[in-house]
Amino acid sequence: MTHHLKSIAVAIMLSSAIFFACDKKNAVTYYSNDQHAPVLTSSTTTIAAAPADSLNNALVLKWTNPKYETDSASEKYVIQIDSSGRNFSKAVSITVSGALVDSFTAKQINNIALGFGFSYNVAYPMDVRLISSYANNNQQLTSNVLTLSVTPYVVPPKVTPPASGVLFLVGSATQGGWSNPVPVPTQQFEKIDSVDYGGVFNLIGGQQYLLLPVNGDWTNKYAVTDGNVPATGGPFGYNGNDATYNSNFTGPTTSGLYSIIINFQTGLFSVTPYTQFLPDSLFIVGSATAGGWNNPVPTPAQAFTQINSSQFSITLPLTGGQQYLFLPVNGDWTNKFAVASGNVPATGGAFGYNGGNGTFNSNFTGPAADGTYTIIADFLNYQFTVTQ
């Protein structure tokens, strides 16, 4: 009997030991509330690096330990960087495990800034914050927000732009065929900026083309690697730098007007159907002009000059405080180019063709003062500019 009681006592003691051991093991899954949001600091608040510094560290971020009840090596930190004022809705995120510091080269910061669409050599505010958590994302804590001033530097373009600043289209897909020099201005691109060119061209379906930096010269050209590059766009190169770019661009299968955009920064081109109206000629009429509202207008004084495939320009005296319109056909009031309202600035903005959109039915507001002005009408993006 005594032996039986001793066996029972030993069993109870073993059960208790197992219970308490299990209870102690499970206790660590319950986290305390003694954590604190990390405090974020930066080595600088102004980043304006030069291209030569691209591989050097431009920013060092440090933060305090939120003191989670776990091995610090497993703590998770997510650095978020975004353009200021967006509340991190389009943030770039970088994940760090365990460490309380991270650094960024000038190239990394520059790429992030350019990814937001920032222009070169212009300072922009960017917000930075940190989100800490356990490795499984539990118990997230958000740090303070730092605002940095970041000035992107110019990155050498992937494809060298034409040194002359002009670009031409040639080929069986064009109205001028393979004849070189090509007809201008209809087969000349518009220079959008230092690395972007664009134009609107009447292309013949099922044919090919090339890009020329010098009209009338076959020595060097911009081309693609082979016929597998889609007609809608892709990579291109300069055969003067890389002999692999020696194949013609494949043109669209269907004839019509197309917008072609050439980006030398990325080395990519795109081709899309042009759905707007592209005039063959352009005239200005209105109380701001010497001819007033008389139509037809006096030519050549009030006739624009086409300067490339998508832009028209005119320089003329304007009477201050008056208005005007653009006409695709001199002497015809049927259709015209106008603005959406009188709120469009006299210095420029969006305009439209009222033959295709009744929204554009207001006169352009002319400059406030008398003077000689240059007006450029850009049909690639339907924007106009007025400068004195």
Residue 34 pLDDT > 80: no
pLDDT beyond 70 at 225: yes
Asked, for residue 346, whether it belongs to a domain, the answer is: yes
Tell me what the mean pLDDT of segment 224-229 comes to.
94
Amino acid sitting at position 21: A
What's the whole-number mean pLDDT along residues 270-296?
97
Distance of alpha carbon 278 from alpha carbon 175, whole angstroms? 16
Amino acid at 237: G
Residue 7 is assigned to a structural domain of this protein? no
Report the relative pairing of strands 352-353 and 101-105 from DSSP bridges.
unpaired
The whole-angstrom separation of Cα 251 and Cα 237 is 17
In the chain, the percentage of residues whose pLDDT exceeds 90 is 79
337 and 373 inside one domain: yes
Residue 24 — very low, low, confident or very high, per pLDDT cuts 50/70/90? very low
Is the pLDDT confidence value at 174 over 70?
yes
Based on the domain organization, do 245 and 264 belong to the same domain?
Answer: yes
- Look up the CATH number of the domain holding residue 105: 2.60.40.10
Q: What was the pLDDT predicted at 155? A: 84
Q: Are residues 198 and 239 in the same domain?
A: yes
Does any domain span residue 4?
no
Query: Are 141 and 192 found together in one domain?
Result: no
pTM over 0.75: no
Residue 16: what pLDDT?
A: 42
Average pLDDT over residues 298-318: 98
Rounded Cα distance between 114 and 128, Å, is: 16
52 Cβ contact partners less than 8 Å away, ≥ 6 residues apart: none
Convert the pLDDT of each residue in 109-159 to its tens digit: 999 998 898 988 999 999 999 999 999 999 999 999 999 999 999 888 999
Q: Please write the tens of the pLDDT for every residue from 188-202.
A: 999 998 899 999 999
CB atoms within 10 A of CB 346: 18
Residue entry with tokens 């020099």: 181
Choosing from 247, 273, 299, the residue where a domain stops is 273
User: Is a pLDDT exceeding 50 seen at residue 22?
Assistant: no
Looking at mean pLDDT, say which of 8-12, 29-33, 181-185 comes out highest.
181-185
Averaged over 271-297, what is the pLDDT? 97
Instruction: Name the maximum alpha-carbon separation found in the chain.
Output: 129
Domain count along the chain: 3
Q: Tell me the mean pLDDT in the region 162-187.
A: 97
Task: Say yes or no to pLDDT of 355 above 70.
Answer: no
Residues 173 and 262 in one domain: yes
Does 292 lie in the same domain as 268?
no
240 falls within a domain = yes
CA angle 329, 331, 333 (to 5 degrees): 80
pLDDT of 31 higher than 60: no
- Work out the mean pLDDT of the chain and round it to a whole number: 90
Which of 199, 208, 197 lies closest to 231 in space, CA to CA? 208
Of 8-12, 126-130, 319-323, 367-371, the least confident: 8-12
Q: Is the pLDDT of residue 11 over 80?
A: no
185 and 96 co-located in one domain: no
**Using CA atoms, how far apart are residues 334 and 312, in angstroms rounded to an integer?**
21
Per-residue three-class SS string for the chain = CHHHHHHHHHHHHHHHHHHHHHHHHHHHHCCCCCCCCCCEEECCCEECCCHHHCCCEEEEEEECCCCCCCCHHHCEEEEEEEECCCCCCCCEEEEEECCCEEEEEHHHHHHHHHHCCCCCCCCEEEEEEEEEECCCCCCCEECCCEEEEECCCCCCCCCCCCCCCCCEEECCCCCCCCCCCCCCCCCECEECCCCEEEEEEEECCCCEEEEECCCCCCCCCEEECCCCCCCCEEECEECCCCCCCCECEECCCCCEEEEEEEECCCCEEEEEECCCCCCCCCEEECCCCCCCCCCCCCCCCCECEECCCCEEEEEEEECCCCEEEEECCCCCCCCCEEECCCCCCCCEEECEECCCCCCCCECEECCCCCEEEEEEEECCCCEEEEEC
Instruction: Count CB atoms within 10 A of the CB of residue 338.
Output: 22
Identify the pLDDT of residue 337: 96
Residues 219 and 290 occupy one common structural domain: no
Residue 213 — very low, low, confident or very high, per pLDDT cuts 50/70/90? very high
Cα(271)–Cα(368) distance, rounded to whole angstroms?
40
> Where in the sequence is the domain holding 194, given as residue range(s)?
168-273
In a domain, 34, yes or no: no
Beta bridge partners, 316, equal 373
- The per-residue pLDDT for 15 is 44
- Across 230-250, b (16+ Cβ under 10 Å) vs e yields ebebbebbbbeeeeebebbbb
Of 273, 308, 331, the position where a domain reaches its end is 273
CB-CB neighbours of 114 under 10 Å: 16
Q: What is the pLDDT of residue 241?
A: 67
Contact 107, 127 (CB under 8 A): no
pLDDT over 90 at 103, yes or no: yes
CATH classification of the domain holding 230: 2.60.40
Q: Is 85 part of any domain?
A: yes
Residues 94, 68 share a domain:
yes
One domain for residues 247 and 341: no
For residue 156, the model assigns a pLDDT of 86
Establish if 161 belongs to a structural domain: no
Same domain, 133 and 217: no
Least confident range from 10-24, 110-124, 248-262, 348-362: namely: 10-24
Give the model's pLDDT for residue 120: 86
- Residue 1, pLDDT score: 41
Note whether 54 and 107 are within 8 A (CB): yes
The residue among 100, 120, 150 that closes a domain is 150
Closest C-alpha among 208, 226, 206 to residue 170: 208
Task: Flag whether 3 is in a domain.
Answer: no
pLDDT of 169 reads 98
Q: What's the pLDDT band for 32 if we cut at 50, 70, 90?
A: low
**Are both 194 and 96 inside the same structural domain?**
no
Q: Per the structure block, which two tokens stand in for 112?
A: 């992030």
